[in-house]
Amino acid sequence: MDLFDSIVESEQRDVQLAPGAMLLAGFARPLEAALIEAVAAIIARAPFRHLVTPGGHRMSVAMTNCGRVGWVSDRTGYRYDTNDPDSGLPWPSMPETFADLALRAADGAGFADFRPDACLINRYEPGAKLSLHQDKDELDFNAPIVSVSLGLPATFLFGGLNRNDKTTRYRLAHGDVVVWGGSARLAYHGVMPLADGEHPLLGNQRINLTFRKTR
Ligand code: SIN
Ligand code: FE2
């Protein structure tokens, strides 16, 4: 094995972020073509859009959804909605490949029988970021969060249960999956501004799929 191989390998090891939180390196990589194709079909029906926060700020990350419900934000607050507010139509259904990947990743991190009913799809272009937050708009905190990274690498921040807890930075590369649940379910997390780059399959962007069980 040459030096290059050993560097790649050391970056691809699974890491525990906290009790209940795992980075599964490259877990989604074998499905990259199917995932990218499915995202293309979803955005043809429910295009990416920049949501506005209740405080009136336009988010730098563009979003869409698939599944029974989708996460939306507007001046009135955050919520899960069965319909796309832009088209009035139900969100595209969750592809089998998505649901199966989320189930297997959760299982790999120790959370059996994860059946998400929502998949938020985030698109980061260079400079886009997500401030430190908790995922707490769901009714069921027993189910974990499963987050799949595609395209350009990002720096993920993972902290504790209080906003001011120390955060650790992790590099999330194409195909990496992060699962957090149990005592880490309400951990603060965020994404640093995306660096410019060119990914062979997705170009100048990062796509993230976040699976949740909302009820
Ligand atoms: C999220 O917290 O909803 C997205 C996290 C990510 O893009 O990795
Ligand atoms: Fe989140």
Pocket test for ligand 1, best of 189, 202, 214 (most atoms within 8 A of CB): 189
In a domain, 8, yes or no: no
- 114 lies in some domain: yes
**Ligand 1 pocket, residue 63 CB under 6 Å:** no
Which ranges constitute the DSSP H helices of the chain?
3-11, 32-45, 96-108
| pLDDT number for residue 11 | 60
Is 97 contained in some domain? yes
Q: Which CATH number goes with the domain that contains 184? A: 2.60.120.590
Q: Tokens 């769901």 identify what position? A: 138
For residue 17, the tally of other CB atoms under 10 A from its CB is 19
Q: Is residue 6 part of a domain?
A: no
- pLDDT above 70 for 43: yes
User: Quick count: other Cβ atoms within 10 Å of Cβ 204?
Assistant: 13
Is residue 179 classed exposed, middle or buried when 0-12, 13-18 and 19+ CB atoms within 10 A define those classes?
Answer: buried
- Residue 28 has a pLDDT of 98
Task: Tally the domains of the chain.
Answer: 1
Task: State yes or no: pLDDT of 9 exceeds 70.
Answer: no
Choose one of 59, 208, 211, 214 to mutate for the ligand 1 pocket test, by most ligand atoms within 8 angstroms of C-beta: 208
**How confident is the model over 139-181, as pLDDT tens digits?**
999 999 999 999 999 999 999 999 999 999 999 999 999 999 9
46 found inside a domain:
yes
Q: Which domain holds residue 149?
A: 17-212
Write down the pTM of the prediction: 0.95
Residue 11 covered by a domain: no
Task: Note whether residue 160 is domain-resident.
Answer: yes
Angle between helix 32-45 and helix 96-108 axes, rounded to 10 deg:
130
- Nearest atom of ligand 1 to the alpha carbon of 190: 2
